[in-house]
Amino acid sequence: MDHTKKFAQEFEESIDRLLPNNSVDCVIFGYEKQRLKVLLLQWKTNAEWSLPGGFIFKDEALNSAAHRVLRERTGLDEIFLNQFYTFGRQNRARPDQNATEEATDKRLLDFGITSPVIAEWMKKRFVTTGYFALVNIAKTNPQPDFMSSSCEWKTIAEIPQLILDHNEIVEKAIGYLRIQLNYLPIGLSLLPEKFTMQDLQKLYEAILGRPLERSNFQRKILKLGMLVRKEKFMSGAANKAPYLYAFDQAKYAQLIKEGIGFSY
Protein backbone atom coordinates (compact mmCIF):
# COMPACT_ATOMS: atom_id res chain seq x y z
CA MET A 1 0.00 0.00 0.00
CA ASP A 2 1.48 3.36 -0.93
CA HIS A 3 1.98 6.25 1.41
CA THR A 4 -1.08 8.22 0.35
CA LYS A 5 -3.44 5.25 0.53
CA LYS A 6 -2.15 4.44 3.99
CA PHE A 7 -2.59 8.01 5.18
CA ALA A 8 -6.08 8.27 3.68
CA GLN A 9 -7.16 5.01 5.24
CA GLU A 10 -5.80 5.92 8.66
CA PHE A 11 -7.33 9.37 8.52
CA GLU A 12 -10.68 8.00 7.42
CA GLU A 13 -10.65 5.51 10.26
CA SER A 14 -9.76 8.20 12.77
CA ILE A 15 -12.55 10.54 11.72
CA ASP A 16 -15.22 8.98 13.87
CA ARG A 17 -12.93 9.42 16.86
CA LEU A 18 -12.65 13.14 16.14
CA LEU A 19 -14.78 15.95 17.47
CA PRO A 20 -16.39 17.69 14.49
CA ASN A 21 -16.37 21.43 13.85
CA ASN A 22 -13.44 22.17 16.14
CA SER A 23 -9.76 22.53 15.48
CA VAL A 24 -6.63 24.04 16.96
CA ASP A 25 -3.93 26.08 15.27
CA CYS A 26 -0.54 26.79 16.79
CA VAL A 27 1.56 29.88 16.29
CA ILE A 28 4.96 28.51 17.28
CA PHE A 29 7.49 31.23 17.94
CA GLY A 30 11.22 30.66 17.87
CA TYR A 31 14.20 32.95 17.94
CA GLU A 32 17.28 32.63 15.79
CA LYS A 33 19.94 35.03 14.56
CA GLN A 34 18.31 37.93 16.35
CA ARG A 35 15.02 37.39 14.57
CA LEU A 36 11.65 36.30 15.88
CA LYS A 37 10.37 33.44 13.75
CA VAL A 38 7.21 31.44 13.26
CA LEU A 39 6.96 27.82 12.18
CA LEU A 40 4.93 27.39 9.00
CA LEU A 41 3.92 24.45 6.83
CA GLN A 42 3.84 24.43 3.07
CA TRP A 43 1.28 22.29 1.28
CA LYS A 44 2.60 19.67 -1.07
CA THR A 45 0.19 20.20 -3.87
CA ASN A 46 -0.41 23.89 -4.29
CA ALA A 47 2.49 25.37 -2.32
CA GLU A 48 0.13 27.29 -0.05
CA TRP A 49 1.31 28.04 3.45
CA SER A 50 -0.50 27.41 6.70
CA LEU A 51 -0.06 27.23 10.44
CA PRO A 52 0.47 23.85 12.03
CA GLY A 53 -2.89 22.74 13.28
CA GLY A 54 -5.01 19.75 13.91
CA PHE A 55 -8.23 18.23 15.10
CA ILE A 56 -9.40 17.19 18.54
CA PHE A 57 -10.14 13.63 19.54
CA LYS A 58 -13.47 13.06 21.21
CA ASP A 59 -11.74 11.90 24.37
CA GLU A 60 -9.11 14.64 24.31
CA ALA A 61 -9.14 18.08 25.87
CA LEU A 62 -8.74 21.07 23.59
CA ASN A 63 -5.52 22.08 25.34
CA SER A 64 -4.17 18.55 25.01
CA ALA A 65 -4.84 18.61 21.28
CA ALA A 66 -2.75 21.75 21.00
CA HIS A 67 0.07 20.11 22.95
CA ARG A 68 -0.14 17.09 20.69
CA VAL A 69 0.08 19.20 17.54
CA LEU A 70 3.09 20.99 18.95
CA ARG A 71 4.76 17.72 19.87
CA GLU A 72 4.07 16.20 16.47
CA ARG A 73 5.49 19.19 14.62
CA THR A 74 8.44 20.12 16.80
CA GLY A 75 9.24 17.01 18.82
CA LEU A 76 8.99 19.18 21.93
CA ASP A 77 7.00 18.39 25.00
CA GLU A 78 6.49 20.22 28.27
CA ILE A 79 6.53 23.43 26.41
CA PHE A 80 5.20 26.86 27.07
CA LEU A 81 1.89 26.89 25.23
CA ASN A 82 -0.92 29.33 25.76
CA GLN A 83 -4.41 29.63 24.34
CA PHE A 84 -5.06 33.14 23.09
CA TYR A 85 -8.18 33.43 20.95
CA THR A 86 -10.87 31.44 19.17
CA PHE A 87 -11.61 32.22 15.56
CA GLY A 88 -15.18 31.48 14.64
CA ARG A 89 -16.33 33.38 11.57
CA GLN A 90 -18.83 31.41 9.53
CA ASN A 91 -16.50 31.63 6.56
CA ARG A 92 -12.88 31.69 7.52
CA ALA A 93 -11.59 31.49 3.94
CA ARG A 94 -9.67 34.38 2.47
CA PRO A 95 -11.77 36.60 0.21
CA ASP A 96 -9.68 35.53 -2.77
CA GLN A 97 -9.59 31.88 -1.80
CA ASN A 98 -11.78 29.39 -3.57
CA ALA A 99 -13.63 27.74 -0.74
CA THR A 100 -16.37 26.01 -2.68
CA GLU A 101 -17.06 22.34 -2.20
CA GLU A 102 -15.65 21.66 -5.64
CA ALA A 103 -12.40 23.36 -4.74
CA THR A 104 -12.11 21.24 -1.60
CA ASP A 105 -12.73 18.10 -3.63
CA LYS A 106 -10.07 19.17 -6.07
CA ARG A 107 -7.53 19.87 -3.35
CA LEU A 108 -8.06 16.41 -1.94
CA LEU A 109 -7.84 14.83 -5.38
CA ASP A 110 -4.51 16.56 -5.87
CA PHE A 111 -3.30 14.57 -2.89
CA GLY A 112 -4.74 11.42 -4.38
CA ILE A 113 -7.43 11.27 -1.73
CA THR A 114 -10.79 10.10 -3.00
CA SER A 115 -12.52 9.12 0.22
CA PRO A 116 -15.96 10.74 0.47
CA VAL A 117 -15.73 10.47 4.26
CA ILE A 118 -12.63 12.64 4.29
CA ALA A 119 -14.16 15.01 1.76
CA GLU A 120 -17.24 15.42 3.91
CA TRP A 121 -15.09 16.10 6.95
CA MET A 122 -12.99 18.70 5.20
CA LYS A 123 -16.06 20.60 4.04
CA LYS A 124 -17.27 21.18 7.56
CA ARG A 125 -17.13 24.54 9.21
CA PHE A 126 -14.36 24.59 11.83
CA VAL A 127 -14.15 26.92 14.76
CA THR A 128 -10.46 27.03 15.54
CA THR A 129 -8.74 27.91 18.78
CA GLY A 130 -5.38 29.62 18.48
CA TYR A 131 -2.46 28.73 20.74
CA PHE A 132 0.93 30.30 20.82
CA ALA A 133 4.10 28.54 21.85
CA LEU A 134 7.62 29.70 22.60
CA VAL A 135 10.34 27.22 21.70
CA ASN A 136 14.07 27.05 21.43
CA ILE A 137 14.71 26.53 17.72
CA ALA A 138 17.96 24.69 18.31
CA LYS A 139 16.11 22.02 20.26
CA THR A 140 13.39 21.46 17.69
CA ASN A 141 13.22 19.00 14.89
CA PRO A 142 10.45 20.29 12.63
CA GLN A 143 8.40 17.55 11.00
CA PRO A 144 6.00 18.29 8.16
CA ASP A 145 2.70 16.43 8.29
CA PHE A 146 1.29 14.37 5.44
CA MET A 147 -0.26 17.37 3.71
CA SER A 148 2.95 19.38 3.83
CA SER A 149 6.16 19.18 1.91
CA SER A 150 8.07 21.37 4.28
CA CYS A 151 8.15 22.90 7.71
CA GLU A 152 9.95 26.20 7.85
CA TRP A 153 10.90 28.90 10.29
CA LYS A 154 9.97 32.26 8.78
CA THR A 155 10.77 35.63 10.24
CA ILE A 156 7.80 37.84 10.97
CA ALA A 157 8.65 39.97 7.97
CA GLU A 158 8.86 36.95 5.67
CA ILE A 159 5.46 35.50 6.49
CA PRO A 160 3.74 34.79 3.18
CA GLN A 161 0.04 34.78 2.49
CA LEU A 162 -1.46 31.93 4.46
CA ILE A 163 -4.61 29.89 3.94
CA LEU A 164 -7.94 30.82 5.50
CA ASP A 165 -7.65 33.38 8.28
CA HIS A 166 -4.21 32.19 9.35
CA ASN A 167 -2.54 35.54 8.72
CA GLU A 168 -5.06 37.08 11.10
CA ILE A 169 -4.29 34.38 13.66
CA VAL A 170 -0.57 35.12 13.45
CA GLU A 171 -1.20 38.86 13.77
CA LYS A 172 -3.28 38.34 16.86
CA ALA A 173 -0.69 35.99 18.35
CA ILE A 174 2.04 38.58 17.91
CA GLY A 175 -0.19 41.13 19.57
CA TYR A 176 -0.70 38.85 22.54
CA LEU A 177 2.99 38.08 22.73
CA ARG A 178 3.83 41.78 22.88
CA ILE A 179 1.20 42.63 25.43
CA GLN A 180 2.09 39.71 27.63
CA LEU A 181 5.83 40.16 27.26
CA ASN A 182 6.04 41.24 30.87
CA TYR A 183 4.31 38.16 32.19
CA LEU A 184 5.77 35.46 29.97
CA PRO A 185 8.78 33.18 30.35
CA ILE A 186 10.27 34.65 27.21
CA GLY A 187 13.94 34.16 27.76
CA LEU A 188 13.86 30.71 29.26
CA SER A 189 11.85 29.32 26.37
CA LEU A 190 13.54 31.02 23.47
CA LEU A 191 17.21 31.32 24.40
CA PRO A 192 19.96 28.78 24.91
CA GLU A 193 21.03 27.97 28.46
CA LYS A 194 23.71 30.66 28.59
CA PHE A 195 23.46 33.97 26.84
CA THR A 196 24.72 37.51 27.01
CA MET A 197 22.67 40.49 28.07
CA GLN A 198 22.77 41.63 24.47
CA ASP A 199 21.19 38.36 23.36
CA LEU A 200 18.32 38.90 25.76
CA GLN A 201 17.92 42.51 24.76
CA LYS A 202 17.86 41.66 21.05
CA LEU A 203 15.18 39.10 21.77
CA TYR A 204 12.98 41.66 23.48
CA GLU A 205 13.67 44.10 20.67
CA ALA A 206 12.77 41.51 18.04
CA ILE A 207 9.45 40.87 19.73
CA LEU A 208 8.62 44.51 20.35
CA GLY A 209 9.95 45.64 17.00
CA ARG A 210 11.73 48.64 18.50
CA PRO A 211 15.08 49.37 20.11
CA LEU A 212 15.53 49.49 23.86
CA GLU A 213 18.08 51.49 25.77
CA ARG A 214 21.05 49.26 26.57
CA SER A 215 22.10 50.39 30.03
CA ASN A 216 18.58 50.71 31.35
CA PHE A 217 17.61 47.31 30.00
CA GLN A 218 20.53 45.68 31.77
CA ARG A 219 19.78 47.29 35.10
CA LYS A 220 16.10 46.52 34.98
CA ILE A 221 16.56 42.88 34.07
CA LEU A 222 19.24 42.29 36.68
CA LYS A 223 17.15 43.95 39.35
CA LEU A 224 14.49 41.28 38.87
CA GLY A 225 17.02 38.85 40.29
CA MET A 226 16.15 36.02 37.97
CA LEU A 227 19.54 35.82 36.26
CA VAL A 228 22.74 34.27 37.52
CA ARG A 229 25.97 35.76 36.24
CA LYS A 230 28.37 33.15 34.88
CA GLU A 231 31.81 33.38 33.28
CA LYS A 232 32.81 35.97 30.72
CA PHE A 233 32.35 35.20 27.07
CA MET A 234 35.44 35.90 24.97
CA SER A 235 34.13 36.38 21.48
CA GLY A 236 37.49 37.35 20.06
CA ALA A 237 36.14 40.73 19.06
CA ALA A 238 38.03 43.88 19.94
CA ASN A 239 35.84 44.92 22.80
CA LYS A 240 35.10 44.25 26.43
CA ALA A 241 33.94 40.68 27.02
CA PRO A 242 30.35 40.40 28.22
CA TYR A 243 29.25 38.11 31.02
CA LEU A 244 27.17 35.09 30.24
CA TYR A 245 23.95 34.69 32.18
CA ALA A 246 21.63 31.81 32.94
CA PHE A 247 18.17 31.78 34.42
CA ASP A 248 17.75 30.97 38.07
CA GLN A 249 14.92 28.54 37.42
CA ALA A 250 13.43 28.74 40.89
CA LYS A 251 13.32 32.53 41.01
CA TYR A 252 12.17 32.64 37.43
CA ALA A 253 9.22 30.35 38.07
CA GLN A 254 8.32 32.43 41.10
CA LEU A 255 8.47 35.68 39.14
CA ILE A 256 6.30 34.31 36.36
CA LYS A 257 3.78 33.12 38.88
CA GLU A 258 3.59 36.45 40.66
CA GLY A 259 3.57 38.43 37.45
CA ILE A 260 6.92 39.84 36.54
CA GLY A 261 5.92 43.46 36.67
CA PHE A 262 8.18 44.61 33.95
CA SER A 263 7.31 47.22 31.42
CA TYR A 264 8.80 48.86 28.36
Query: In the complex, which residues of this chain contact DNA (CB under 7 A)?
Result: 196-198, 213-216, 218-220, 222, 232, 234, 236-243, 262-264
Give the CA distances from residue 105 to residues 16, 62, 112, 171, 204, in Å, rounded to whole numbers and listed in that order: 20, 28, 10, 29, 44
Find the binder of a second copy among 12, 15, 19, 115 (CB under 8 A).
19
Q: Which stretch binds a second copy (CB under 8 A): 60-68, 69-77, 97-105, 147-155?
A: 60-68
Closer by beta carbon to DNA, 159 or else 224: 224
Residue 63 interacts with which of DNA, a second copy, none, CB < 5 to 8 Å by class: a second copy
Residue 146 interacts with which of DNA, a second copy, none, CB < 5 to 8 Å by class: none
Supply the minimum distance, in Å, between the C-beta of residue 218 and DNA.
Answer: 5
Buried b (16+ CB within 10 A) or exposed e, 130-168: bbbbbbbbeebebebeebbeebebeebeebeebbbbbbb
C-alpha 233/C-alpha 194 separation (Å) is 10
C-alpha 135/C-alpha 196 separation (Å) is 18
Site string for a second copy, 109-148 (x = CB under 8 A): ----------------x-x-x-------------------
HSE (side-chain half, CA atoms, 13 Å) at 3: 4
Find the binder of a second copy among 42, 50, 63, 196 (CB under 8 A).
63
Chain CA centroid to CA 202, Å: 19
**Cα dihedral 244, 248, 252, 255 in deg (nearest 10):** -100
Find the binder of a second copy among 22, 104, 143, 218 (CB under 8 A).
22
Residue 125 interacts with which of a second copy, DNA, none, CB < 5 to 8 Å by class: a second copy
C-alpha 201/C-alpha 228 separation (Å) is 16
Residues 74-103 that bind a second copy (CB under 8 A): 83, 85-90
Residue 90 interacts with which of DNA, a second copy, none, CB < 5 to 8 Å by class: a second copy
Supply the minimum distance, in Å, between the C-beta of residue 124 and a second copy.
Answer: 9
Chain CA centroid to CA 204, Å: 17
Closer by beta carbon to DNA, 197 or else 207: 197
> With contact defined as beta carbons under 8 Å apart, do 155 and 67 qualify?
no
